[in-house]
Amino acid sequence: MTASLGVAEMTAAESEKAFCERVDAALYKASSGTGRFFSDIADSYKPIIVSVKGICASACYYAVSPADAIYADSNALIGSIGVRMDHWNLSEIMSTVGVKNEPLTAGEFKDALDPFHPLSDSTREFMQKEILNTMHEKFITDVELGRGKKLLSRHDADAVSLYSGRVWRRHDHSHSSCRRRSGHWRPPEGRVGQLWLCR
């Protein structure tokens, strides 16, 4: 089995040390749905360049934020720095068909997101304050840590709603600090070599 990472390849038989010695840099083409899998690589001396051709939003942007440079194609969408949680209220449908759910629980919020009854005010307040807002702040601080001085200050970022959950096109100047630079599809490969020579 062979796995590709940037311009290098490794087989299952190769050790991590041998792989690291052989790789000068990594070029990662990112898309939404990608988990945060290369934060450990970012902590090493290998430069990381991210090239976004389609969409790199939410978890994808979270994952790539530690990169040395992020390039966005002309139609690329990036950002969506926010948190979402869904609750489906099926109680009216259940009532229509004459079915009722009676859960047995231990713990005040154990069935908080049960789809068979409406969301209570206390549950909504708890989920918003203790879960969503806390996770959103963690998302923001991790992005700030990953992008460093490339990113707007918190004050300036708030002024342009950078952390509102919006996605941004490359030409939206207010989000320009989300990525290193824009350009044609060729620059990322050249940037890998530049970062390696300047390390």
How many residues make up the chain in this entry? 199
Catalytic residue among 32, 58, 65, 80: 58
Residue 53 annotated in active site: no
Catalytic residue among 100, 110, 129, 138: 110
Residue 58 annotated in active site: yes
Catalytic residues: 58, 110
